[in-house]
Chains A and B, each alone.
Chain A
């Protein structure tokens, strides 16, 4: 157990819908990262937040957005969902913006 928690574990929804994935970092960690794991794209970095501010951005779609709240938990919002958004979404955290990342168990999203 890394100490990073993600909810929900599984999510099934329909195309066109919007979902929110939640992540709580390890105690004391200020930085949160989001990754997408899919069969065709592998593990892809989406976005990083550090102490509430966006710090780095990867290949995140415009339909996706994230934020980190004052209590340091983070949410990833996925809207206008498409079949291709079905994937495992991981959250990771680290103490600072540049240290080792520890991953949560992931949220498996299935878009039907």
Chain B
């Protein structure tokens, strides 16, 4: 079965510093990979996705992620963090199921705190 691991439960960075959030997945084939962000009291907003092709994908709000098949990783990066980036970040894998269905399997999330 597919699984997603986000090893960092909490991360604190200073505003303006760079950020990398780690994500490792387990899946038998090439997965569809996603990063979502959840602000307090809000729903999940899609930051970026990887389906195929270029392994470096660009998303909204200045985020990017790199798919590394050899490491089964899909780490999220941002060169300069803003205070408004404080939120919880979820990595997800979405295989195509038999019968044409779909579901997302989420990691446990990384809570990002930004120090001013």
> A residues within 8 Å of B by Cβ?
2, 4, 31, 33, 35, 42-43, 45, 48, 50, 55-56, 58, 90, 92, 94, 97-106
Contacts and interface: CB of A to CB of B under 8 A. Distances in A.
B97 A56 contact: yes
Interface in B12-70: 34, 36, 42-46, 49
Contacts of B94: 101
Interface of B: 34, 36, 42-46, 49, 90, 94, 96-97, 99-109
Contacts of B102: 31, 33, 48, 55-56, 94, 97-99, 101
A90 to B, nearest CB: 6
Contacts of A98: 96, 100-102
Contacts of A50: 100-101
A45 B42 contact: no
Contact of A55 (B44, B99, B104, B109): B99
B40 to A, nearest CB: 12
A103 B43 contact: yes
